[in-house]
Structure 1
Amino acid sequence: MDLSQITEALQRDAVWVVFLNVLLQQAGLPVPAVPTLLVAGSLAASPAQAAAMLAAAVLASLLADAAWYAGGRFFGYRVLTGLCRLSINPDSCVTQTEARFQRWGLWSLVIAKFVPGFSTVAPPIAGSLRMRLPGFLLAAAAGAALWAGGAIVVGWLLRDELQDALLTMSRHGRTMAVAGGLALALWLAWKLWQRYRFMKLAAIPHVTPLELIEAMASDAPPLFLDLRGPAMIASTAPIAFATRADVENLLQSVGDWPRQAPIVTMCACPGDATAVRAAHVLTELGYTAVRPLKGGYEAWLAANGQT
């Protein structure tokens, strides 16, 4: 939906258009809501109408967030892993997302709407960590109100400029469409290039869970590095003989481990992304026998009959 179509629809039924647009975006679909909110603010005829738009946006956002929260509550980190699998560049998606949540706590839900890519994944993390529902809803509502309210207020303050911009775009619609399409193509090409680079990095020898089980029972077991985030480990279970690690501080986790001795890295992320990255980092540091665990944490659970 382009801005001229948004304008026409908003003039007919602003509250429902805002509600539907925000609901679709917060559900995870690539439907940007900020342009709608800006135009809605510029077209608001009264404070009461603007308040109704804001209420619709907050309600839509809360409905989507509550659904993701329930998914995280009942299905745990599988929901987050599934969301990250949809990413064009999955490298460290789960770990980075959890790190933000750990750093900001409840405030992460307030600022989530302002962080690209974080808005959809924050609620399932809150659910998987068993955050209390009243606190979750309060923080999510506050974040939605700040995000949507800010866009509506900016739209109202810049209503003359926005209307002029919409008029210009309607006069030069084909040129704007070509420019937008070109920008989208360049962005997509960059993301695909990042994915291609990751796939090249991921094309290294892996170890299967069964091979790891056999190796751990041998006289010379490998160093097993668990790269899952602390919140995920707490919400599932630690692995008794694994060493907690993160990519930024690998040397601290490795300690005085011999550089020729085997090391296995494991994560809970699409494409074993974090485990692959850690294996490359350790290899560059001089460790000669580092391999990621194929299939990550879920494959490890399956091999041990825990799924």
Structure 2
Amino acid sequence: MTPFLSAADYFAAKLAYETDPTDLAAERASGTAPLVIDTRSAASWSQGRIPGAVHIPNSELEARIGDFASTTDAAIVVYCWGPGCNGSTRGALILASMGYTNVRELIGGFEYWAREGFATVSDDGRGRRAPDPLTAPLPPTA
């Protein structure tokens, strides 16, 4: 049986539709930040989120996306809790089905964003965890 895609085509497509926390942070630092959408529940959003993200649970995505993305070619990254959550996959599918052509999923979600030591914000304020050595390189020690 011949596969529909070659391995190279598969991995190229995967990279076109996914981003990771480090790459998203680099985009944001360069000033080319996409619209970042948190698809989780209100309770999860309150507990912590990526600064500047917009909270649109999947059940509201179709009705509210137009408030934040004026064109269907807007750069959008969706995320949910972490690797054990498919809310970002569902959100990306909703947007792609609506005709949005530049949608990516944040692999690792909010969990890996926080574990890699990037800034977070919650209803209690801003914070930053020390990078988890299993997910991000530690700074050199003197």
- The match for 1:227 is 39
- The match for 2:72 is 259
* Structure with more relative contact order (C-alpha pairs < 8 Å, separation 6 or more): 2
Letter of the 2:79 counterpart: M
Q: Which structure's CA Rg is the greater one? A: 1
Q: CA deviation at 1:240?
A: 2.6
More strand by share: 2
1:295 aligns with 2:108: yes
More helix by share: 1
Letter of the 2:72 counterpart: R
SS at match of 1:224: strand
Which whole-Å deviations, capped at 9, do the CAs of 1:230-285 have from their partners, x for residues lacking one?
11222x23433000011121130442512112100010154441101110110111
Which whole-Å deviations, capped at 9, do the CAs of 1:114-141 have from their partners, x for residues lacking one?
xxxxxxxxxxxxxxxxxxxxxxxxxxxx
Q: CA deviation at 1:218?
A: 2.6
Q: Give me the whole-angstrom Cα distance separating, in 1, the residues matched to 2:66 and 2:36.
A: 10
SS at match of 1:217: helix
- The match for 1:247 is 58
Q: Give me the whole-angstrom Cα distance separating, in 1, the residues matched to 2:82 and 2:32.
A: 28
Aligned-pair identity in percent equals 31
Instruction: Answer whether contact 1:276 1:292 (CA < 8 A) is retained.
Output: yes
Instruction: Answer whether contact 1:209 1:300 (CA < 8 A) is retained.
Output: yes
CA RMSD of aligned residues (A): 2.1
- The count of residues paired between Structure 1 and Structure 2 equals 104
Q: Which one of 213, 216, 222 corresponds to residue 25 of structure 2?
A: 213
SS at match of 1:268: coil
Which whole-Å deviations, capped at 9, do the CAs of 1:166-216 have from their partners, x for residues lacking one?
xxxxxxxxxxxxxxxxxxxxxxxxxxxxxxxxxxxxx95310101100111
TM-score, normalised with respect to structure 1: 0.31
Give the 3 Å change call, closer, same or farther, for CA 254–292 of structure 1 in structure 2.
farther
Q: CA deviation at 1:227?
A: 1.4
TM-score, normalised with respect to structure 2: 0.64
Q: Give me the whole-angstrom Cα distance separating, in 2, the residues matched to 1:232 and 1:250.
A: 17
Q: Give me the whole-angstrom Cα distance separating, in 1, the residues matched to 2:20 and 2:52.
A: 17
Q: How does 1:54-73 map to 2 (within 5 A)?
A: none
Structure 2 gap ranges (5+):
1-12, 119-127, 131-142
1:306 aligns with 2:129: yes
Q: Give me the whole-angstrom Cα distance separating, in 1, the residues matched to 2:49 and 2:110.
A: 11
Instruction: Answer whether contact 1:272 1:295 (CA < 8 A) is retained.
Output: no
